[in-house]
Amino acid sequence: MAIDMKLVHDPIHGGIELDEFAVKLVDTPEFQKLRRITQLGLAFLVYPSARHTRFEHSLGTYHLARLVSTRNPEIEEGVVYAALLHDLGHYPFSHTLEALYPKHEENTRWLIKHGGIGDILEENFSLREFEGLLKNPLVSGDIDADRMDYLVRDAYYTGVAYGIVDLERLVRNLCWDGKRLILLEKGIMAGQNLLLARSMMYPTVYQHHTARIAGTMLVKAVELEGIPLEEIRFMDEVDLVAGLRMSEKPEVRELIKAIDERKLYKHVFLSGEDPGEEAIEELRLELEAEFGHLVLVDYPPKPKFEERNAFVLVEGEVKRLSDVSPLVRALANVGESYWRWGVYAREDVKEEVQDALEKLL
């Protein structure tokens, strides 16, 4: 990599300048692996152009964190490297497999402690210290470098306009008060826009119902294959897909082939009313007893859009963004309205599943 990678070209931010230590981190196998972890998982089955990866997103997050840090020199220097590495622990197809394994944030911390990248970090930080940096509001807050990058990037690659956010106004107006990022008055609208954008990208892209079907199929394949955490945490998408294609279990091979060829299961049922986890588990058991892997019950966690810690400065006073914006306040009611659970089935058994389901519900 060396010299010529110090400036990385990116269609979102133009030139991203990496300092020497960032180059060292980027030059590790762990970080290069992110090139083979799709940013939006299986969303490319709906938005074919959404092929960007955690690699670019991580560089972009670093870039934005650096811009904010440069304007706020009191922010701890290491935060930009935390921004760079915040997604290191993503599994193949990003959030998809978090249904089976610990959240990627936990895996990020594990990889930092156990991988070669930790040795590099220890040249400048204690690992305990670095773990703290990962929680800095600039890396994981309501209005942070992570969200700023992914909303704009995901909008760019999907062509869905809702994610467009005024990065420059945010960067210019984010102010560090020693423990919090505070948005100055001229940036409030841009901050509100970011939270609204996120809520609109959710049903349109992040939880698009077709991508959810494909994701649920993949989860089932991985579950059937029984890949242990110690393996999946080192895998990229080549490892995973090739492994599933060569599985000894015909169901697993069938599922990955169906994803590869976009022969997706069909909706049998979709509902915004939550019967409770217990009822769902019961249903799942009954359906699987009858149909095996040909039926899938998808019960995703409920999204939360309300802002909890977005601070703004209004007429000299620090307030929560939700206190000054009726629209941000309204986000508290939005999550519920987008949530759906569903039952999916292979096309040829769709009707039988429908019949069975009607008896069960």
By CB under 8 A, what part of segment 22-81 binds a second copy? 27-29, 32-33, 35-36, 44, 46-49, 51-53, 55-56, 59
Site for a second copy, residues 97 to 156, rule: CB under 8 A: 156
Site for a second copy in 164-203 (CB under 8 A): 164-166, 168, 172, 189-190, 192-193, 196, 199-200, 203
H helices present in 54-187, as ranges: 54-71, 79-85, 104-114, 116-121, 127-133, 145-158, 167-173
Using the rule CB under 8 A, is 20 a contact of a second copy? no
Pair of tokens at residue 355: 């019949």
Q: Which of 23, 100, 224, 330 binds a second copy (CB under 8 A)?
A: 330
Give the residue, chosen from 8, 111, 138, 313, that forms a contact with a second copy under the rule CB under 8 A.
Answer: 8
**What is the radius of gyration, based on Cα positions, of the chain?**
22
The tokens for 192 are 């509100």
Q: What is the C-alpha to C-alpha distance for residues 203 and 46, in angstroms, rounded to an integer?
A: 13
Of positions 229, 318, 327, 360, contacts a second copy by CB under 8 A: 327
Segment near a second copy (CB under 8 A), from 122-130, 174-182, 257-265, 282-290?
257-265
Q: Which residues pair with 312 in a beta bridge?
A: 183, 319
Count of residues touching a second copy (by CB under 8 A):
71
CA 10 to chain centre: 20
Cβ-based nearer residue to a second copy, 160 or 280: 160
Output 133 or 170, the one with its CB closest to a second copy.
170
How many helices (H) and strands (E) are present in the chain, helices listed first? 19, 9
Does position 238 interact with a second copy (CB under 8 A)? The reply is: yes
Query: Any bridge partners for residue 269, and if so which?
Result: 343
Residues paired with residue 298 on neighbouring β-strands, in sequence order: 342
Of 87, 146, 225, 237, the residue at the interface with a second copy (CB under 8 A) is 237
CB-nearer residue toward a second copy: 78 or 243: 243
CA–CA dist 16, 131 (Å, integer): 24
Question: Is 290 among the residues that bind a second copy (CB under 8 A)?
Answer: no
- Measured CA to CA, the distance from residue 309 to residue 211 in angstroms comes to 30
Only one of the segments 62-70, 122-130, 221-229, 326-334 lies at the binding site for a second copy (rule: CB under 8 A); that segment is 326-334
Q: Sort residue 125 into left (φ over 0), alpha (ψ -120 to 50) or beta.
A: beta
Interface residue with a second copy among 19, 281, 337, 361 (CB under 8 A) is 337
Closest CB to a second copy among 33 and 66?
A: 33
Amino acid at 98: E
